[in-house]
Structure 1
Amino acid sequence: VDAINAMQANGLKSVETIGPEIDEPVAEVVEDLIHFSLRLDTESVDRLLERGWRNRGPMDFMSHLAGPLLVEVGTRWARGEIGVATEHFISERLRDFLSTRWRAANASAQAAKVVCACLPGERHVIGLHLAAVAAALAGVHVVFLGADTPIRDILSAVDRVGAKAGAVSVAGGASTDLLTHQLKVVRRGLPRQVSLWIGGTGAGAAVLPERSEYLHNLERLQTLASRLAEDRTPL
């Protein structure tokens, strides 16, 4: 409330007054997005996201705008500078924006399929939506399972749709031993010819199983997805 009052005292900005230049500093765009999120202004937040996507392009938008936005929102929430409602609001706007993009880009049912899921315990799905966008834009068909998915259901989905890869998001709060065990179970349950791609905040801490790929950035995921779409042997 105090933050909103301070903004009102200084004069509320309109989204139309923010310049459309592609080199607009990311910090300023992030501030504008948080500014309008504090007001729960859906239209202005959506328009800023749309403009960022259009001006920067999908990969730059996701890596250099959406990423810093999520970090800043999380930092301010942890410091008590924004409330749960604001954090949930902006996360939901970004989730909705990204899901709309990958659904629009999703290739035909005849394309190579990738099952995207969060491992058990992982309830945050925005990272998975970022991965889904990168994969869909590369030409594969995304089958999205979402948060907190039991391993048996991930394996079943891969089998049922004939997926060529499973992309899993790993929780940051789980123990290293648990994550290592879960990933081994997933890898053992997948056919040898099906790729396993692993990303998320906890992926770097886990011991990854053989015949798996650590997705250290979205560009790596897009490279792998492009190879599947072209029916080439994954790296």
Structure 2
Amino acid sequence: MSTQSPVQYPIRAAAKLTGISIDTLRAWERRYQAVVPVRGERGRVYDAGQISRLRLLRDVIERGHAIGQVASLTDTALEALLAAPAAVQGTVQPTAAAAGTPELLEPVLNAIEAFDFTQANALLGRLAALLPARELLTHVVLPLMREVGDRWHAGTLSIAQEHMVSSSLRNLLGGLMRLNTPSAPQARILFATPSGEMHEFGILAAAMLAASSGFEAVYLGPNLPAREIIAASERTCPLAIVVAIKTSSSAEEVIEELRLVASQRPMNTELWIGGGEAGQVLPALRSSRLFALHNFEEFEGHLARLKGASL
């Protein structure tokens, strides 16, 4: 009498069955050994029991527990947590992550103050595994950028520490942007900063938001001459070009670079300019289809407008 081999699911199938992203599944295995799949000819494969356990972990985390607190629990213990009243659920409530509380950022800031680059990267990577992309940006990355900037201006963080954070966030956001680029994007949006503008976090975070909203983000990076931005836009035909300038960047040479982009971009491509001085720069560009972005809420509003127009 023959016996059937147990069904095994490759990681892509496991992600679909559990609703947990492939990146998160790998992170849970690597950091917490939440499940230990067999490695076969097709890579990681999960059995039915592991799929069931992953679903339990997913449900427990949705009730407010951190993966680091529950990864080692047995399936029976996980089921008991799910059966418990919501009032006595885990110590980490969903509102804590969603509110961007100091408790969420404090371990990262402590690592930065201690020049512990490895720990800072590990903590940020853990948050990236636990939070959806938009929540990571709005409740971790952007508040961290503001806090580090404030501490740098106050003299409590050094330039070296600020650069360390810049490196960590650039790697994190760049990786997330690649992971969140949709397989069938609705349209392209191009991101860059003009010549002389080295600060890229604004456009990098904006590119991540665009990708998570269903757009293809063509990310060119900082300090790009106007003619290179124009050439790239001619090749890619984006719905919009997004550039960012700092408050101190409204010098005539920057305005001239933006004027060149505004006058020579493709006919149907909008130009969005982000930064505190964006509204003051627009009149000097003498062009149409220009928009100033003073915050990410305005940026998301324009994304929604483009998405509605493209449907």
The answer to whether TM tops 0.5 is yes
Q: 1:131 to 1:199 in 2, by over 3 A?
A: same
Matched, 1:21 2:93: yes
- The one of the two structures with greater contact order (alpha-carbon pairs below 8 A, sep at least 6) is 1
Are the structure 2 counterparts of residues 72 and 195 from structure 1 closer, same or farther at C-alpha, using a change threshold of 3 Å? Answer: same
Deviations 1:183-221 (A, max 9, x none): 332111112211111113442442354311222332433
- 1:116-175 Cα deviation digits (max 9, x unpaired): 100111101111110110111111111111111100000000001222221111132123
* Higher Rg of the two aligned structures: 2
What's the RMSD between the two structures over aligned residues? 2.8
| 1:28–1:143 Cα change, 3 Å | same
Match of 1:221 among 288, 292, 299: 299
Counterpart CA distance in 1 for 2:128 and 2:297 is 16
Determine helix, strand or coil for the equivalent of 2:217. Answer: strand
Partner of 1:120: 195
After superposition, residues 1-235 of structure 1 pair within 5 angstroms as 20-24=92-96, 26-53=101-128, 57-108=132-183, 111-175=186-250, 177-208=252-283, 209=285, 210-228=288-306, 232=310
Q: Which amino acid in 1 is paired with 2:203? A: L
Normalised by the size of structure 2, how large is the TM-score?
0.61
For each residue in 1:55-87, what CA deviation from the matched residue of structure 2 results, as whole angstroms up to 9, or x when unmatched?
554334323432222122122222322222211
**Deviation at 1:224?**
3.1
CA contact (8 A) 1:116 1:146 kept: yes
Output the amino acid matched with 1:220.
E
Unaligned runs of 5+ in 2: 1-67, 70-90
TM-score by length of 1: 0.78
Distance in 2 between residues matched to 1:202 and 1:214, nearest whole Å: 9
Q: Would the alpha carbon gap of residues 140 and 164 (structure 1) be closer, same or farther in structure 2, given more than 3 Å must change?
A: same
Counterpart residue type for residue 31 of structure 1? E
State how far apart, in whole Å, the 1-side matches of 2:110 and 2:146 are: 15
| Secondary structure at 2:189 match in 1 | strand
- Aligned counterparts of 1:97 and 1:165: Cα–Cα separation in 2: 24
Gaps of 5+ in 1: 1-15
What is the Cα deviation at residue 97 of structure 1? 0.8
Distance verdict in 2 for CA 1:123–1:89, change over 3 Å? same
Deviation at 1:227, TM superposition (A): 4.9
The residue matched to 1:186 in structure 2 has which SS?
helix
Q: Aligned AA for 2:294? A: H
Letter in 2 for 1:81: T
Answer yes or no: is the 8 Å Cα contact 1:118–1:148 preserved in 2.
yes
Q: Is the 8 A contact 1:22 1:56 kept in 2?
A: no
Contact 2:134–2:212, Cα closer than 8 Å, also in 1: no
- Distance (whole Å) between structure 1 residues aligned to residue 167 and residue 307 of structure 2: 30
SS at match of 2:263: helix
Q: Which amino acid aligns with 2:298?
A: R
